[in-house]
């Protein structure tokens, strides 16, 4: 019995690993467009195509990572992803030129997809707390890592882009070393079934599958909308008199709220796990409503309010998605289903800028925002219907 109470990885090392890895990725994908346009002298269209390919291979990495996590070994899965990302970061440092950079970036996407899926899947093997407890904390370290990484990028920018790649490689090597030292017991997790979470139910697997798919579709549309803040909406704000500093503060607010909220949500995890349906419904509703606020935004305070409500919805819903999927997916396919969640996220991020740009060629920004909010609400209603039907048959 005592064995079942032991986590395959100590929680401090899991969270530290997530933090270090996410600091590392801050030196690569957020800077891709800047690097390709300013240093490799490629057009913004070419940069957008390369980013689309990167997100596509990340999606592929999510699928591969989930499959081999379940069927081969968890430890080798995450180690494989770490080796791929480390190799690509080193290659970018040694050969920072066209066309090698996009080739390495696309390969890096596979490794990144494998690592992120493996980290999420490891949370499903932990036994001292419900999986939602770990998903909340991992969501916090993921965002905290991106914040720290962004600050470090600003500090070393004067050294040039090769310093970015060298930094990414350094953090990935440290992450790999952490895996070799403290993650070796991961494979033993498959030998002992994890303790059930408070929200597990004995639903039919077919109904479970379609309910999970409807939830992943909801996440896809959320990220399709979310990424507009990085692309089309950011340009729209600057064109309407919002300064770059004011725009950046919106993201500072986002990061601060997530960092503060996740420990609080984790503290109440036992209660929230029992109310996970309400948590998802309220979170996605808040997320969608933030885009309705943006429709009539005519001053900076409206944008801040929209970001505040969006972040509240994100903090409630996004970590809960992974917990819900773990509770309702087949226990021998935890990696596959966590990969499915992340694949929905990757697909939404991949298509967001292109989707928004195409629609803005034919309509105004308020109409685009209304469409995005409507897509989230419709997909949420679809998930609610599937979830309700499944519970009636339980």
Instruction: Tell if the pTM clears 0.75, that is, is over it.
Output: yes
Lowest-confidence segment of 18-22, 156-160, 250-254, 375-379 by average pLDDT = 156-160
pLDDT at residue 283 is higher than 60: yes
* pLDDT tens string 79-94: 999 999 999 999 999 9
Residue 199 domain flag: no
Residue 200 domain flag: no
Q: Report the range out of 25-34, 251-260, 306-315, 340-349 with the highest average pLDDT.
A: 306-315
State the pLDDT at residue 263: 87
Residue 345 domain flag: yes
State the pLDDT at residue 14: 93
Is 360 found in the same domain as 384? Answer: yes
Is 180 found in the same domain as 60? Answer: yes
Is 289 found in the same domain as 240? Answer: yes
Is 355 found in the same domain as 232? Answer: yes
State the pLDDT at residue 189: 56
Alpha-carbon distance of 324 to 92, in angstroms, equals: 38
Alpha-carbon distance of 162 to 91, in angstroms, equals: 11
Residue 228 domain flag: yes
Q: Report the range out of 20-34, 178-192, 199-213 with the highest average pLDDT.
A: 20-34
Is 180 found in the same domain as 290? Answer: no
Mean pLDDT over each residue of the chain, to the nearest integer: 85
Boundary-marking domain end, from 167, 191, 215: 191
Is 174 found in the same domain as 263? Answer: no
Q: Report the range out of 142-146, 219-223, 249-253, 332-336 with the highest average pLDDT.
A: 219-223
Q: Residue 196's pLDDT band (boundaries 50, 70, 90)?
A: very low
| DSSP character string of 71-122 | HS-HHHHHHHHHHHHHHHHHHHHH--STTHHHHHHHHHHHHHHHHHHHHHHH
State the pLDDT at residue 221: 96
Residue 197 domain flag: no
Is 96 found in the same domain as 209? Answer: no
Residue 157 domain flag: yes
Distances (CA, A) of 299 to 221, 237, 242, 271: 26, 10, 8, 38
Residue 246 domain flag: yes
Q: CA triplet 328, 330, 331: central angle to 5 degrees?
A: 100
Is 32 found in the same domain as 161? Answer: yes
Rounded mean pLDDT, 301-317: 94
Is 319 found in the same domain as 345? Answer: yes
* pLDDT tens string 91-136: 999 998 888 999 999 999 999 999 998 998 888 888 888 778 888 8
State the pLDDT at residue 217: 95
Q: How is residue 201 annotated by DSSP?
A: -
Q: CA triplet 26, 139, 104: central angle to 5 degrees?
A: 30
CA dihedral 382, 228, 147, 139 (to 10 degrees): 10
Is 364 found in the same domain as 306? Answer: yes
Is 238 found in the same domain as 124? Answer: no
State the pLDDT at residue 79: 94
pLDDT at residue 316 is higher than 90: yes
Question: Under 8 Å CB-to-CB from 247, ≥6 apart: which residues?
Answer: 234, 237, 238
Is 236 found in the same domain as 184? Answer: no
Boundary-marking domain end, from 191, 226, 260: 191
Backbone conformation region of residue 241, classed left if phi is above 0, alpha if psi is from -120 to 50, else beta: left
Rounded mean pLDDT, 202-222: 82
CATH code of the domain covering residue 290: 1.20.1250.20
Residue 278 domain flag: yes
Whether the Cβ atoms of residue 39 and residue 307 lie closer than 8 Å to each other:
no
Structural domain that includes position 231: 205-392
Boundary-marking domain end, from 145, 166, 191: 191
pLDDT at residue 213 is higher than 80: yes
**Structural domains counted in the chain:** 2
């Amino acid at each position: 019995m005592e064995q079942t109470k032991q986590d395959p990885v100590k929680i401090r090392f899991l969270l530290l690993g997530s933090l270090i890895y996410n600091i590392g990725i801050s030196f690569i994908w957020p800077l891709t467009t800047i690097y390709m346009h300013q240093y490799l002298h490629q057009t913004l269209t070419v940069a957008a195509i390369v980013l689309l390919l990167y997100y596509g291979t990340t999606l592929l990495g999510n699928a591969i990572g989930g499959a081999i996590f379940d069927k081969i070994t968890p430890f080798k899965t995450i180690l494989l992803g770490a080796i791929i990302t480390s190799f690509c970061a080193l290659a970018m440092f040694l050969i920072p030129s066209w066309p090698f950079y996009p080739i390495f970036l696309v390969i890096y996407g596979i490794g990144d997809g494998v690592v992120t899926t493996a980290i999420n899947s490891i949370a499903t093997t932990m036994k001292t707390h419900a999986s939602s407890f770990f998903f909340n904390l991992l969501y916090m370290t993921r965002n905290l890592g991106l914040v720290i990484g962004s600050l470090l990028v600003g500090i070393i920018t004067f050294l040039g882009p090769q310093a970015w790649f060298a930094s990414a490689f350094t953090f990935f090597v440290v992450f790999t070393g952490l895996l070799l030292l403290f993650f070796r017991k991961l494979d033993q997790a498959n030998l002992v079934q994890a303790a059930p979470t408070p929200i597990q139910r004995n639903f039919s697997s077919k109904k479970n599958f379609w309910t999970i798919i409807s939830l992943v579709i909801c996440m896809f549309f959320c990220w399709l909308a979310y990424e507009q803040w990085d692309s089309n909406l950011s340009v729209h704000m600057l064109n309407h008199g919002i300064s770059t500093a004011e725009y950046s503060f919106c993201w500072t607010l986002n990061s601060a709220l997530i960092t503060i909220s996740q420990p609080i949500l984790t503290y109440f995890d036992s209660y929230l796990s029992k109310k996970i349906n309400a948590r998802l419904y309220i979170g996605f509703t808040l997320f969608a409503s933030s885009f309705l606020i943006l429709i009539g935004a005519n001053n900076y305070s409206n944008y801040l309010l929209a970001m505040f409500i969006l972040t509240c919805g994100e903090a409630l819903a996004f970590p809960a998605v992974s917990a819900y999927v773990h509770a309702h997916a087949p226990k021998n396919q935890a990696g596959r289903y966590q990969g499915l969640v992340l694949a929905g996220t990757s697909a939404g991020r991949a298509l967001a800028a292109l989707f928004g740009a195409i629609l803005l060629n034919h309509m105004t920004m308020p109409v685009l925002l209304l469409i995005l909010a409507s897509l989230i609400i419709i997909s949420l209603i679809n998930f609610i219907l599937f979830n309700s039907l499944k519970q009636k048959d339980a």
